[in-house]
């Protein structure tokens, strides 16, 4: 296989096997739902130790292969506190973000407006492996 974004079926299998590949995942509610012949949505949460959870929202297009993640939102929470999030909402007037436009990460303080470049995020490869690794490093520091 050439990777999980080769087809919608490959990505679906990748999603449903995440907990098998990452023992740090305690529970997953991720689902991929097809919305017609060329669109699918991924949504749900990955749960980790210490009350950490990753909320995942992705919109996939596959009218041409490979699959493209044409929109995403990833939020990391610890219990009821939002720690940070990633999104591709364009901010063309923020020169700090130009290097990875439109991918960026929101961090405290002032989490809504404190944004940094996110070179790890992509529309053409899965983002979840990086996000899980980032969470595993955070858990290891607790």
Does 2 have pLDDT greater than 70?
A: no
| 64 vs 12, higher pLDDT | 12
Specify the pLDDT at position 4. 78
Specify the pLDDT at position 64. 84
Would you kindly state where each structural domain of the chain is located, as residue ranges? 8-141
d(CA 25, CA 14): 14
| 41 vs 93, higher pLDDT | 41
Counting residues of the chain whose pLDDT is more than 90, the rounded percentage is: 88
Does 1 have pLDDT greater than 80?
A: no
At 5, is the pLDDT very low, low, confident or very high (cuts 50, 70, 90)?
confident
21-46 average pLDDT score: 96
- pLDDT tens column, 47-62: 999 999 999 999 999 9
d(CA 142, CA 129): 20
d(CA 131, CA 119): 12
At 92, is the pLDDT very low, low, confident or very high (cuts 50, 70, 90)?
confident
At 65, is the pLDDT very low, low, confident or very high (cuts 50, 70, 90)?
confident
Query: 2: burial class by Cβ within 10 Å (0-12, 13-18, 19+)?
Result: exposed
Give the residue among 62, 64, 58, 61 at the shortest CA–CA distance from 31: 58
Q: What is the DSSP letter of 67?
A: P
- For the entire predicted model, the pTM comes to 0.94
């Amino acid at each position: 296989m050439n990777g999980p974004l080769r087809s919608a079926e490959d990505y679906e299998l990748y999603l449903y096997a995440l907990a098998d590949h990452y023992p740090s995942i305690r529970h997953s509610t991720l689902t991929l739902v097809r919305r017609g012949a060329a669109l699918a949505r991924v949504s749900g949460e990955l749960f980790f130790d210490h009350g950490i959870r990753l909320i995942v929202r992705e919109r996939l297009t596959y009218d041409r292969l490979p699959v493209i993640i044409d929109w995403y939102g990833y939020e990391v929470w610890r219990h009821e506190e939002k720690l940070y999030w990633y999104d591709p909402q364009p901010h063309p007037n923020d020169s700090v973000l130009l290097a990875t436009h439109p991918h960026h990460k929101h961090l405290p303080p002032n989490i809504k407006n404190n944004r940094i470049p996110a070179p790890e995020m992509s529309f053409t490869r899965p983002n979840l492996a990086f996000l899980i690794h980032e969470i595993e490093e955070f858990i290891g520091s607790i």
